Amino acid sequence: MPLGADIGLRGWIVLATLLAAAAPPTPAPLPVHIGGRVIAEPDGSFSFGWPGVYFESRFRGRSVRVRFGAPAEHVRLLVDGEAKRLFIKPGSVDEIVTGLKPGRHVVRLEKMTESQSGGGRFFGFFPTAGDVALPAPPRGRQIEFIGDSYTVGYGNSSTHHDCSAAQVHDTTDTQQAFGPLVARRFDADYRINAYSGFGIIRNYGGGVRGLTLPAIYPRLKPDDAAHLERDRGEWRPQLIVINLGTNDFSTPLKPDEPWRDRAAFEAAYRSAYAAFVRDIHARQPKANFILMGSEDFLPQVRQVAASLAMPDQVTTLLFSGLDHGGCQFHPSLADDRLLADSITKAIGRLSTW
d(CA 212, CA 107): 35
The runs of H, that is alpha helices, within 124-261 are: 149-152, 165-171, 178-185, 213-216, 246-249
CA–CA distance, 245 with 254 (Å, rounded to integer): 17
Q: Would you state the torsion angle of the CA atoms of residues 40, 41, 46, 50, taken in this order, to the nearest 10 degrees?
A: -70
Question: Which burial class, exposed, middle or buried, applies to 128 when counting CB atoms under 10 A from its CB (0-12, 13-18, 19+)?
Answer: middle
Burial class (CB in 10 A: 0-12, 13-18, 19+), 348: exposed
The answer to whether 149 is a known catalytic residue is: yes
CA distance 253 to 203: 11
Closest C-alpha among 336, 344, 310 to residue 171 = 336
Of the candidates 115, 107, 13, the one whose C-alpha atom is nearest the C-alpha of residue 62 is 107
Q: How many residues are present in the chain? A: 353
- Closest to 75 measured CA to CA, from 172, 140, 141: 172
Q: How far is CA 146 from CA 26, 127, 241, 276, in A?
A: 39, 35, 6, 11
Using CA atoms, how far apart are residues 163 and 169, in angstroms rounded to an integer? Answer: 9
Q: Which amino acid is at 107?
A: V
Catalytic pick among 47, 57, 115, 149 = 149
Burial code (b: 16+ CB inside 10 Å, e: under 16) for 165-197 equals eeebbbbbbbbbbbbbbbbeebebbbbbbbbbb
For 185, 213, 256, 282, 316, the CA distances from 188, given in Å and listed in that order, are 8, 24, 44, 22, 21
* Contact between 143 and 190 (Cβ < 8 Å): yes
Residue positions annotated with a catalytic role:
149
